[in-house]
Chains A and B, each alone.
Chain A
C-alpha cells in the first residue's frame, strides 16, 4: 500500500474542496478501495472520508425515498420503508457480500465498486482499465465471470454489484455534487459501457461526489424479486442475477422492469426484453421471446458461454414465478 493522507470531511463543501485536490479519492467503507490499495492497484495520495455525510434515509415529497450516499448497505436493507416499499432493493443488498462487509459498505461506495476481473486485480497482467492501451488479458484468459453483453475488444469486465441491479430496475436517480454545483442523473446513465475507454467507468466528473440515490414512488413492491445465481450458497458474486418487477392487468403485462447483473460492464437494464413484454399476455412463451430478444446480441467468451443459457432460464423462470405470485401489497 502506498502511503497516503487521510482527511475526514466535515461537510459537503469540505469534501468537495478536498476531493478537488490532485490524487484525492473519496472513501466510503473502504471495503473495495482499501483492498485495491493493498493490491497496489489504486494509489490515492489523499483519502477523503465521506462516511460522515449524507447518512439519512428520507421520504421525498413525491412519495419516494432518498437514501444518503453514506448510508451503510446493512442500514438500507434493514430500513422498514425500504423493506415494505422496495423489497427488491433489500433483497439485492442482502444477496451481496457478507454481513461484515455490508456493515461497512456505503451506498455511494457500492455504486462505484470496481470490477472483480482477475487481470484488473493483478498488476502483472495487461489491463486497459489500469493502463489504457496496454491490452486485455481477460479476453483470452479466465473469463467465467465476464460480460456477455455490451463488451468491447478493449474490456470484457463486469460490474459486480447486486444493489445496483435493483437500482437499475427501480429507475432510481443519483444526486451528484461538484465544484460547479449539483446535478441529478438517471441511475441507468451513471455507468458506462467500456467501448474504447474502459478506464472511464461512469459519468462522474473529477472530484464529483455522490450524495444520494432517490427512489421514485413506484417500488414495484406488489410483484418484484431479486434472483441471484452464484458458485456457492453465499459470499460469491453473481454469475447472473435478475431484478424484476411486473404489473399485471387481467393477465396482460402493464409496467415491467427487468435488469440483469453479472452480464455486463454496467448494471444491465433489459430494455429489449421489456419492450417485448409490455402489453402482451403473461405467458411463458412471451417471457421466452423477451429473454431471446434481450440475449440476441450476447457474445460468449472462452469460459462464460453458459451465462447466455443461464440468463435465459433465470429470466423466464423469474417472470413465470412473478406472474404466478399473489400480489403481496
Chain B
C-alpha cells in the first residue's frame, strides 16, 4: 500500500468512527432482537438431524457420478529442493490406473490467489500447483493417480519412484529466527499497537509479571476428511466440495483454470467440520486438473495423513506477556509481544495479540507480532486464530499477577474493566463481561475456592480451580447477499451461498427468517451451500450469522416494499410505509395496530402473482469501525492432578457467555461446548510433532495426534446473558469460536491452583508436572 493510500484509509477510518450512528449499519437496532417469546432463542433441534441420523445427508465424497475415477496423492518427503527424477512407469502399468499426473504432464495453471489477496480468494498458499519440479514443503503433492477404485489409486501412488535434490530449506525455529523476523499482519493491518512508553511504565510499576508462554503447532482434524467430487462439463466445472466458502472456492478455481467465475459451480450442502480448514487447498485443484486431463469425473478424499501434509494448521507461538500494575491492581502497562511462524508461500500471521487490544484498560500498551518463515505446509485459520492461543498467554499472566498481588483474579479483571476500547477509543457496542463473570462465578461456586496453591487434596489427586476470560470479536465481512422467494401458499424460500458445517446454521436461520416474516418454521426453507445462490459468505470468523442476517434484513425490506406496492389501495395496508409494518401470522400487519393485516397469500393472489422474488445485498461492514464489538465469556475450570503421575483430568468446566442474542439455545450450547472441548485439547494434548531435521510432521494420524476422547471431557455447563447487541443483526454477535478461547488459561490456572506449578508451555502433559 502506498503512503497516499494509507493516509486515505486512515482518514476514512476516522470519518466512519465519528459518523452519526444512524448512518452506520446497525445504527437502527434490528427490531427482531427484541422478540423474547417467539422463535428467536428457542431450543430447536437441528432440521438436518433426521437426514444425518439416517445417513441421507450427502457429503462431498458421496455424490455419485457416471464414470467416476478415484484420486490418490503422492507427497514429497523433503522440505525444499527439486524433483530430479520421477519414474511413473510401474504406477501407470498398475491395475485400474487411468492417469498419473505430475508436473511433467499437468495442464498449465495460473497461480492460486491466496487468502486475503482478493475478497474472493480462498487459496491456502500461492505455490504453483504441480507446475514445476520445485518443492516448497515436506508433504507437497508431487503426483496424482486416478484409478477405477480408491484401493487401486492408493496402491499405484506407492509405486511412483521420486528422487529429490535437497536445496537448503528452513525447518527449525532457530534457523528461521536467524533469518530475522518480519512484522506480522492480519487482515491487511499491521499487528502492532503502541500507546505511551509501555516498557518504561512497566519498569517503574511496583508489581509486575513478565513471562514467556509457548504454544505448539496444531493440525486440523475435522472428522470429515477434505474431499471433492467433480467433473468438467465442456468448459464448465462442477464441484461437490467440502468447503466453508463455496463462492470463494468457485472464484479462486476460475482464476486457476482461467475461466469465468460463472463457469464454476460449487455445492456443499453438508460439511463434517471445518474450523477454518475447509477452504481451497491443492486437492481440489489437482483433482480438477486431473479430471480435465483424463476426461473423466474425479473423486478425491484426502487421507488423514494427507490432511496433515497438505492442509495447514495453527502455527506455533512464543509470546511474552508483561504486565505492570499498582498495588490496587490497576494496570500501568500491558506488553504482549512475540513470535510466530509462517511460510514463504502464504500471508497468514497467527495474530495472538488481537484479544489483548480490547481486553483491559491500561495506561500503556505495547503489542506486537513478529513472524519468521519456515518451509512447511502453509499455516492457516484454526478456530479463533489469535485468540485461542493469545488468551492462553494473556489470561495466564493475569492469573500470575493476581497471585502476585494476593488478589482474586476476577476482582483484578474487574478492576481493569475498560469504559471504551482501550486501544482504538471506540465505544463498545455492548459489553456484558462483568455480568458473565458474576453469574458464572455464582453458578460455579467460585467463592468456595482455596486460593492457596497445592492445598486441596482428595486421595492421590490435587484439586484446583482456575478461571479466564474468553473473548472473540464480532465480525462481518463484505459480500453478504440473499434472495427471498415468497409464494402464493404463503411459504418462503431463502437462498444464500452460506454453509452448514454442523453448527446449526440452517436451523437458526430458518428460525430467524420465520420470525422476521411472521411464518411458522415449516413455512420456511433455508437453502444454502450452492454458488447458484447469491452472496460471498465465508463460514469463518464467527461471522456467517451476521453476514446472512444483514443480507436478509436488506432483502426483507425490499420484500416488504414490493408487497406494499402489490397490495395497492384495496388492501388494509394501503398507504403504509415499510417501516410501519412487520411480519405476523403469515402476512404483514401494521406494527402498532396488529388488527390491520393482510396475508402474503392474499396479497399475491390479488396481484395474480405466483411468487415474489427479491434480492438484497448487505451494506459494507462499517459498524466494525464505528463501534468496538466483542463477545466475552467467563471460563471456570476444576482440575484434578495426580500427585504421583502428574496426569491432569478436568473434572468440571463452566462457560458463562456474553455474545449478544442467542438464536437457538440448543445449537448454541453445542457450539460453546464443542469449542470448550477443542480448548481442552489445546490445553492438554494437541501437539503436531514437526521434525525440525526434515520439516516433516511425524504424528499424522488420530492415533498419535491426540484430541480429547470422551473420558477426557467432563460435564460442561454453559450459560449466557442473552443481552442483545443493539448494533448487530438480530442482536447476535456470533458464537462459533469463542468457546475455545480462554480454555487453555483456565486449565493452566487451575493446574497452578492445584499444584503450585505454572505450566507456560502447552500442552500441559504429565511430564511437566512430575
Contacts and interface: CB of A to CB of B under 8 A. Distances in A.
B169 to A, nearest CB: 15
A235 B709 contact: yes
A234 B711 contact: yes
Interface string A304-329: 00100110011001000000000000
- Chain A contact residues: helix, strand, loop or mixed: loop
B725 to A, nearest CB: 38
B647 interface: yes
Interface string B151-187: 1001100100000000000000000000000000000
Contacts of A234: 709-712
Contact of B696 (A116, A122, A140, A239): A122
Given A118-B698, A122-B698, A124-B77, A231 B691 contact: no
B767 interface: yes
Interface in B642-686: 644-647, 649, 684-685
Interface in A270-329: 306, 309-310, 313-314, 317
Contact of A313 (B645, B704, B706, B708): B645
B649 A317 contact: no
A14 interface: no
A233 B712 contact: yes
A141 B695 CA distance: 12
A26 interface: no
B699 A306 contact: no
Contacts of B460: 317
Main DSSP-derived SS at the B contact region:
loop
Contacts of B706: 231-232, 236
B242 to A, nearest CB: 22
A310 B770 contact: yes
Nearest to B645: A229
A314 B645 contact: yes
A225 B696 CA distance: 40
Contacts of A140: 693
A6 interface: no
A3 B646 CA distance: 46
B392 to A, nearest CB: 19
Interface string B691-724: 1011010110001101011111000000000000
Contacts of A314: 644-645
A124 B695 CA distance: 12
Contacts of A116: 703-704
B770 A306 contact: yes
A233 B640 CA distance: 12
A119 interface: yes
A41 to B, nearest CB: 11
Given A1-B154, A2-B158, A118 B711 contact: no
A230 B154 CA distance: 33
A215 B765 CA distance: 36
Contacts of A122: 696, 698
Interface string B68-100: 000000000100000000000000000100000
B766 A141 contact: no
B698 A40 contact: no
A142 B691 contact: yes
Given A116-B704, A232-B706, A232-B709, A3 B698 contact: no
B689 interface: yes
Contacts of A3: 95, 155
Interface of A: 1-3, 38, 40, 116, 118-119, 122, 124-125, 137, 140-142, 229-236, 239, 306, 309-310, 313-314, 317
20 contacts: A1-B155, A2-B155, A38-B154, A118-B689, A118-B698, A124-B77, A125-B694, A137-B693, A141-B691, A141-B693, A141-B698, A230-B647, A232-B712, A233-B649, A233-B711, A234-B710, A234-B711, A310-B770, A313-B770, A317-B644
Given A1-B155, A313-B644, 5 more contacts: A1-B151, A122-B696, A137-B691, A142-B699, A310-B645
Listed from nearest, the 5 A-B pairs whose CB atoms lie closest are A306-B767, A233-B711, A124-B77, A118-B698, A234-B711
